[in-house]
Every structure is written in structure tokens, then in C-alpha cells.
Amino acid sequence: MKTIRKVMFMGLLLLLALPMAAQRKVKFTIAEKATEQPIIGAVITYADNEKLKSPQRVVTNMDGEATISVPQSDKCYYQVVSVGYNPLKGTIGSDSSLKLFMTEDVMKVNEVVVTGSRTARPIKLSPVSTQVIGGKELVDAGYADLTKALQQETPGMNIQKVGFGNEISMQGLDARHVLFLQDGERLTGDMAGNLDYERFNL
């Protein structure tokens, strides 16, 4: 009785070993065609049918490589996909290694467009005190000195001569909180807000 059990057990082991013996390993190497650099994270899907039903999957490593086990005799099909590349399809023949090159799919990589916009609003709705002085106004008023023009046309503006230039204050705010723009370009300095009068074209 014990002998029969041993024979049955050995036979079962042999049956289980048969599929394993019929398996073979195939090594995939996936690279970019233009640069021949390895493609990391490419997904290889493979199955014993062309429609890839009930498939198995592996992902390429840092070297663009992945190894799969396929039946020794059955024909296998594969598909390789990676973001930004055209997919590859094919069959696994008798080769123990496959090196495949993927081409970039420029059309499927969405462009990132950065845009800017502005909204016009009345000065009276501005949360800070804002004064707009047009060049024509200054010319028509006949100002010969820019300092006087700014002080006259801008309420609360005070400009004083100091050793290093001109010190500006506006409605109690020092130069760090006063900003001058000419056609949208900043004119005041970051340290003390000193004005470079030569930059104004009157």
C-alpha cells in the first residue's frame, strides 16, 4: 500500500514538473530609436492569443529590460506601450532575447501652454491709491521739472533731495511701498525707491 502511494506521489510530482520544464525565458530590451537610450517603465503585455486575452504583464527596469516566461511550444504575442511612444506589437519566436526600438509619438503628447491675461478695471476700484499721469498732460501743463510735476499731479507725493538721490514718500508711505511704472515697466529701486529721472521720456 505504501509503495502504491509513493508511486502516485512521484507521478504527481512529475506531472507538476512538466509545465515548468516546458517554459522558457525571453528577455526584452526596450530602447528609444532616435537615441538608443533605454525606456524605463515600458509595459510589456503578452499572451498566447493575438487579441491578448487573459494576458500577463511586466514592466521594464532602469536598463529598459524585462524577462518573461512563455511556453516552449505555443506561439505568443506581445504588445509594448510607453507614454509618448508608438506602441509595438509582434510575436515571440524561438529567440531567447528581443531588442525593440520605440519611436516618439509627438502627436499624442499634449502641449502645455502657459498664458497670461489681464482685466481692465476703473482706478477707483483699485484697493491701493493709484494715480495715472499721461505724457500729454505733463507736456500741456508745461512742467520744466519732473519733481514738481509729480508733486503737483500726484496727491500726497513728497520728494526730497538726500545724499544718495531722491527720497520718496506718498500719503505717509515710504519708498518701499511706492511703485512707479512707465508703460508697465517698474522704475523705482528695490532698496530705497530712488527715481532715475533719465528713464522718463518727457
Q: What is the pLDDT of residue 3?
A: 63
Spatial distance between the Cα atoms of 43 and 58, rounded to a whole number of angstroms: 6
pLDDT at 18: 47
Q: What amino acid is encoded at 77 in this protein?
A: Y
Task: State residue 96's pLDDT score.
Answer: 84
| Superfamily for domain range 24-108 | Carboxypeptidase-like, regulatory domain (2.60.40.1120)
CA proximity to 174, closest of 148, 197, 193, 147:
193
Residue 85: the pLDDT is 94
pLDDT in tens, the chain (202 residues): 556 665 565 655 555 554 544 688 999 999 999 999 999 999 999 998 989 998 999 999 999 999 998 887 778 899 999 998 999 999 988 888 899 999 998 775 566 677 766 677 777 777 777 777 777 777 777 777 777 777 777 777 777 777 666 777 777 777 777 777 777 777 655 555 555 555 555 5
C-alpha span between 63 and 38 (Å, rounded): 6
User: Shortest CA distance to 101 belongs to which of 112, 84, 87, 117?
Assistant: 87
Please give the pLDDT value at position 112: 66
The pLDDT value recorded for residue 142 is 77
CATH 2.60.40.1120 in the chain: give the residue spans: 24-108
E strand or H helix at 6, and its extent?
Answer: helix 2-21
Check: CB of residue 132 under 8 Å from CB of residue 154.
Answer: no
Residues whose CB falls within 8 Å of the CB of residue 44, separated by 6 or more in sequence, listed in order: 28, 30, 57, 58, 59, 60, 66, 68, 78, 79, 80
Look at residue 167 in the predicted model and tell me its pLDDT. Answer: 75
**Cβ neighbours for 73, distance < 8 A, ≥ 6 positions apart:** 22
Residue 133 pLDDT: 76
The pLDDT assigned to 11 comes to 54
3-state secondary structure of 2: helix
